[in-house]
Structure formats: C-alpha cells, structure tokens
Structure 1
Amino acid sequence: MAIYRLEKDKLTPIGEVKIDLEKDLQKITEDNLAVLFGLAFISSEFSLQKFRIDTLAFDEESQSFVIIEYKRDRSFSVVDQGFSYLALLLNNKDSFILELAKKLKRDVNNIHIDWSQSRVLFLANLFTVYQQNAINFKDLPIELWEVKKFNNETILYNQLKASNNSESINTISKNETIKEVSKEVHVYTEEEHFSGKPEEIKALYEEIRSRLLSLDNAISLKPTKIYIGFKAKKNFISIEFQRSQLKIWLNLSMGILDDPKNITIDVSNKGHHGNGDYEINLKPGDDVDYFMLLAKQAYQKNS
C-alpha cells in the first residue's frame, strides 16, 4: 500500500521503515491495546507448560481472553499455532483466571469468562499468500494483522479478513485439536442473530445496518454472542435481536445525548448488554430517521 504526503498539490512518497517485531512492535502494541483493539493488558511473555504467550489480553466487552503473537517467521501455520494456543487456554482455565485476577486486581470469585469468544491475533510485517488463504473460513477464531511503520512516525495496523463466501473450518478439517477447540470456541455471525426472526425485524435491521455502515467506510461489524456491534474506533451501537423489536444500546454516557423526543431509556444504573447508558427499543414502523440522528451522536463520540 503506497502512502503519500500532500504538499501544495504535489505528492511525496512516504517510505516504509523497518520495525523490530520482538521489541518495538510488542511494546507499542501492549502500551496501546485499548486504543488499537479495545483490550485490557494482562501479561507479557506469559509462560505455561511449553508455551510462551507474547501478549495476554482481555476483552472486557465479551469477557474473553485474547492471545497476541508477533511473528517474524513467514513459514509458520497460522491455523495450527492458533488452535494450539486456544487449546492451551481451554485446558488451563484456572491458570489464566489466576493471572487475570493477579494482574488486573480482580476477585477470583467475581470473574466470569466467556470461553466461547476466545481468540488469537497474529501480528507481522507481512503474511504470505498461503497464510492469508489459511484464514479463509467464516468461523476461525484467528485474526491476521499486518503492521507497517513509515518514516513520518506513522504506524498502520491492517486486518486481513476472510472472504464473505468462506466456509466453516469444521466441514473440512480432521485435526483433533481443531475439533476439540471448536466444541467450545465459537465465532458468531450476523446470520445466527436473525435466524428464525420475523421478516419485518430482518428488514428493519437491514435498513439500520446499511445506514450505519454508510456513515464511514471504516465502520466494521462485530457479532458477539448476545448482540451485533457497530465499531468505529470503539463500539458505538450494539443491536440485540428480539422477536418483535431490536433492542439497541448507544455508547454514550448519561447526559450527553441530545434526544428531544425522549425515546431512549436510561440504563446507567441497570445491568445490561452492549455499551453505553442509553437504550432504545426499535420496532418496525418506528422513525428510523430520528434513530439515525441519535446514532450519529454515538458515532461521532466514538470515532
């Protein structure tokens, strides 16, 4: 990807510079986990059995562990290594919970982990075509991120994604480790959320989805067990499918939202899914234009 500096209508190429994966990249990533991935840092070089995890992190939103590895070697198998790390996690749950409790100063008895949303992130300067093709499954709990540093002190983190028509890894793999991990770890999809829901609810979601994504090309979808998140720099909208409505949370603190029609519900002091203090129950026939005015406020605050 070529990047240029624009000065007085003239383009000047911005050159790429070498980044030390084992030192510089790991430190930069760990120091900025919240900004980059919305994660909490737990440990660096966490050792267990014969494994050493480069970075152990925690996703507060999904209540799940995230393992991050920095790769210089371009010959490794992303699928084999990724599932080996996940098997290590699932077979040693107590050790990971104790590490979380110790580093984040949590009460072990109050820690609730969703093991089904565990995932592995591989970071490298460049991945081979074979490695990129290896993640071309819709339900793979493994992410590839290419990281490049430029001579204007800019760093680019770019996620390589599977194609939309990819199939399930469980339909083709006979690997026992993959089979065992897949029994507990699950990559959730949009289709699972609206499966079995009335057509009018699906149509309402599709309209909202289209309009939210049109706000910015950088907005991404993040299906979780309970809801579908719409993410700019942070999740700004979370949507849960119900039989007769969409329950939606706006990621804004109470008192910030301008809602003259007063259609939102204050959930700042209530237990709820999603992010933010505002909840909306949107039904077919409701004013989507007005909802978008509220959604744009959440987007602007989280982008």
Structure 2
Amino acid sequence: FQGLPVELYEIRKYQDEIVTLNRIGDSTTKSIDSGKPKTRTRLSEYVEEDYLNGKYHSQYPTDDTKRLWKQFKEIIEDTFEDVEFRQKKIYGGFYLRDDGSSVCTLEALKNKIVLAYSTSNMNLLEPSEFVIDVSNKGHHGIGNFQSSIESADDIAKAIPLISKVYQSKKEKK
C-alpha cells in the first residue's frame, strides 16, 4: 500500500480487558503526489442545437418535433421561474437552481418527445394512458414515470404533472 495514507497498528489484548495499540512502520508523512502536473478534466458540454440535429445520438427529430421541443421548453421556463435547462448527451433536463435536483427531462425521438418526471415517489403521479410507469423498464434512471409528447395538447396535459413534481421537490427543502 505504498503511497496510500494508511497506518498499520498491532493490537494486543491481555487479561482484565487490557488492550495495547502499537503503530507499525515509520511515522513520517509522505506526499501521494506523483510528480506529474495536475491537469483538470472538464466534462463535455453539450449544445442543444447539436443534440436536436442528432450529433450525440442516432435519433434525428423531424422539424415538427424540434418545434414542439422548443415550444415545450419555453412553456416550462415560463411556468417555473427557478428552474434551469441543462443539455446532456441523450436528453435535456430542467433542474432547480438552488439545489440542482432534477424536475423533469426531455428526450427527442424522431416523431415525439419522451418526458420523464423526476420522481421515484410512486404515489405522486397516477399511471394512466398518458403517464406510464417505467420503474420496471429500462430508462435513464431519472424518475419512474414517463409521457409521450406528440402535440401541444400533450404539453398542456404534462404541465400540471410537472408542477406536482416541482412542488414535491420544493417542499423537501
């Protein structure tokens, strides 16, 4: 374990509950620095336009889906003032500004947007034709419920559900 900040002790137990501890090895502290200059690794930043043009994944949303994406994003930003949008590699998400917790994520597919509600509380949203329970299916690990957004009507149905998730996140503070 050379170079690791670990100390070894010899422990002996005697009669009458007497215990002794003896440190093994030298008592000098050694730096773990490898001598190489430290380089900062920066996580890749993803650009929304590149995402919508299929640069990061194999999905190529249609122009209608791109318009729906922008409309949906604008409505969420106007409805919830303290959320911010962050583009990730395979989805875009809305996060609370103060603690960074996720409210919902959007994934653009060819002809629809998959909305994932960022909650694991199985009692918060009621599964229906519009809200699908994906807790036992493969997903990106963000919440247990999803909806398919294919029109402005679907956006109108989704906003109250996003609001429930948003309120539950705000109440946790």
Confirm or deny a common fold (TM above 0.5). Answer: yes
Find the aligned partners of 1:300 and 1:51 in 2 and give their Cα distance.
48
Contact map agreement 2:124 2:165 (CA 8 A) in 1: no
Structure 2 counterpart of 1:207, from 57, 67, 71: 71
2:9 maps to: none
2:14 maps to: none
1:237 maps to: 104
TM-score, normalising length: structure 2: 0.65
Q: Which has the larger radius of gyration?
A: 2
1:191 maps to: 49
Aligned length: 130
2:4 maps to: none
2:82 maps to: 218
2:35 maps to: 50
Could you list the runs of 4 or more consecutive aligned residues of structure 1 that deviate by over 3 angstroms after TM superposition?
none
User: What secondary structure is seen at the aligned counterpart in 1 of 2:151?
Assistant: coil
- The alpha-carbon distance between structure 1 residues 223 and 274, as it changes in their structure 2 partners (threshold 3 A), is farther
Find the aligned partners of 2:167 and 2:85 in 1 and give their Cα distance.
17
Find the aligned partners of 1:47 and 1:215 in 2 and give their Cα distance.
50
- The alpha-carbon distance between structure 1 residues 51 and 296, as it changes in their structure 2 partners (threshold 3 A), is farther
Which runs of 5 or more residues in structure 1 are unaligned? 1-45, 53-80, 87-118, 120-140, 142-185
| 1:88-127 per-position Cα deviation (integer Å, ceiling 9, x unaligned) | xxxxxxxxxxxxxxxxxxxxxxxxxxxxxxx3xxxxxxxx
- The alpha-carbon distance between structure 1 residues 51 and 275, as it changes in their structure 2 partners (threshold 3 A), is farther
Tell me whether 1:299 sits opposite 2:157 in the alignment.
no
Tell me the amino acid that sits aligned with residue 49 of structure 1: S
Contact map agreement 1:230 1:238 (CA 8 A) in 2: yes
Contact map agreement 1:227 1:274 (CA 8 A) in 2: no
Report % sequence identity.
24
**RMSD over equivalenced CA pairs, Å:** 2.4
Find the aligned partners of 1:291 and 1:262 in 2 and give their Cα distance.
12
1:281 is displaced (CA, Å) by 1.2
Structure 2 counterpart of 1:282, from 139, 144, 149: 149
Contact map agreement 1:236 1:250 (CA 8 A) in 2: yes
Greater fraction helix? 1
TM-score, normalising length: structure 1: 0.39
Structure showing greater relative contact order (alpha-carbon pairs closer than 8 Å, 6 or more residues apart): 2
| 1:267-286 per-position Cα deviation (integer Å, ceiling 9, x unaligned) | 11222115100011111354
Find the aligned partners of 2:74 and 2:141 in 1 and give their Cα distance.
20
Find the aligned partners of 1:284 and 1:292 in 2 and give their Cα distance.
13
Tell me the amino acid that sits aligned with residue 85 of structure 1: R
User: What secondary structure is seen at the aligned counterpart in 2 of 1:214?
Assistant: helix
Which runs of 5 or more residues in structure 2 are unaligned? 1-30, 54-59
